[in-house]
Amino acid sequence: MDKQLDYDSITNVLFQGSVNADAAEVHGTMCGMLCGGMSLTDRKWQTVLADTTNQGETFSQLVSFKLEQLFSQTIEQLLEGEFSLQMMLPDDQAPINDRGAALINWVQGFLLGFGLHQQNLEQCSADVKEAVQDFSDISRMEEPMDSDEESERALNEVVEYVKISALLCFSELGRSLLDDQQEKPSVH
C-alpha cells in the first residue's frame, strides 16, 4: 500500500489543513457515499466532506490533493471487490483503543455518507439492512478495550465484518463506471 495514503499520513495532512476529522472518518464517509450509490464520477463528495469536517470551507490544495488520491484508490478497491478494500485505520502497532476509536470514526463516516445516498432502505436486501443496523450499533460503542489477545481478536473480527459489509453494500447499491458512461447522452 502506498505509504502516502496510509492512516497516519492522511490524518497528518488533515490536521495540518485544520480539518476536524481523521483519515478513518473521511475514508468512511467516502466509502459510505460510494456504497450508497453515488456515481463514481460525482464530485459532490468534496463539498460534503468540507461541510462535515471543515465548517464548509474549501480544503487547502494539499488536503484536496490527498483526498483526490484517496478517493481514486477507494473507487479502485471497491470495484476490485473481494478483499481489496483497505480501510483507513491506524496500523496494528497503534494502541488498541486508538484503533477502536478510528474504527468507530470510520463507521460513523460511512453511515453519514451512506445516508446521503440511501434514505430509504425499503428496497435494500435484508443483508444491507442488517449491516446498516450493525454499523449503527458499532458507531455507539464506547467502553475502552483491554490490550489482550481476546480484545485484539474481537477488534479484528469487527474490522473484517465492517469491510465485508461495506463491500456487500457496494455490490448491491454501488455504481460501476459503465453506469456513469450510460448517463451521458450518446452521440450518434
- Residue ranges of domains in the chain: 3-174
Return the DSSP state at 175.
-
155: three-class secondary structure by DSSP: helix
Residue 90 and residue 96: Cα distance in Å, rounded? 9
3-state secondary structure of 168: helix
Tell me the pLDDT of the chain (188 aa) as tens digits.
456 799 999 999 999 999 999 999 999 999 999 999 999 998 889 999 999 999 999 999 999 999 999 999 999 999 997 778 999 999 999 999 999 999 999 999 999 999 999 888 998 999 999 999 999 999 998 888 898 999 999 999 999 999 999 999 999 999 887 776 655 544 44
Residue 186's pLDDT is 45
Q: Give the pLDDT score at 125.
A: 95
pTM above 0.85, yes or no: yes
Of 174, 60, 76, 61, nearest to 117 by C-alpha is: 174
CATH of 3-174, one of 3.40.190.10, 3.40.50.11710, 1.20.120.740, 3.40.50.720: 1.20.120.740
Rounded to whole angstroms, the Cα distance separating 62 from 60 reads 5
450510460: which residue's cell? 182
Residue type, 108: Q
